[in-house]
Amino acid sequence: MDSAPAVRLRVVTREIESVDEMLVFADPHDPTVWSRRGDVLVARGTAAAFVAPESDTGPDAVAAWWRRTISSAEIDDPVQLPGSGLVAFGALPFDPHRLGTADPSTPRLHFAVPQVIVGRRGSRSWVTAITADGRTPSADLPETTGFGPHWSATTGPGALTPDGYQRIVRAGVEAIRGGEIEKVVLARDLAGTVPADADLRRLVRALASAYPDTWAFAVDGLIGASPETLVTVSKGTVTARVLAGTIARGADADADTAASLALATSTKDLDEHGYAVRSVLDALRPSTSSLVAGEQPFMLKLPNVWHLATDVEGELAGDASALDLVAALHPTAAVAGTPTPAALDAIRRLEPFNRGRYAGPVGWIDANGDGEWAIALRCAQFRPRDRPADDAPIPFTAYAGAGIVGASDPESEMLETRVKFRPIIDALA
Provide the annotated active-site residues: 183, 228
Of 128, 161, 174, residue with least CA distance to 417: 161
Residues 6+ apart with CB under 8 A from 151: 194, 195, 198, 199, 202
Instruction: State the angle between helix axes of 162-177 and 340-350 in degrees (0 to 180), rounded to the nearest 10.
Output: 140
Q: Which of 87, 133, 89 is nearest to 109 (CA)?
A: 89
The answer to whether 366 touches 208, Cβ cutoff 8 Å, is no
Backbone angle region of 288, left / alpha / beta, with phi > 0 → left and psi within -120 to 50 → alpha = beta
Q: What Rg do the C-alpha atoms of the chain give, in angstroms?
A: 21
Bridging pattern class, strands 74-76 and 10-16: parallel
DSSP state, 383?
P
Name residue 28's amino acid: P
Please check whether residue 272 is in contact with residue 238, taking contact to mean a CB–CB distance below 8 angstroms: no
Q: Judging by DSSP bridges, how do beta strands 337-338 and 305-316 pair with one another? A: unpaired
The strand pair at 116-121 and 110-113 is best described as unpaired
Residue (of 354, 43, 400, 86) closest to 217 by Cα position: 43
Question: Cis before residue 352, ω within 30 degrees of 0?
Answer: no
Start-to-end CA distance of the chain, whole Å, equals 44
Q: How many CB atoms lie within 10 A of CB 24?
A: 17
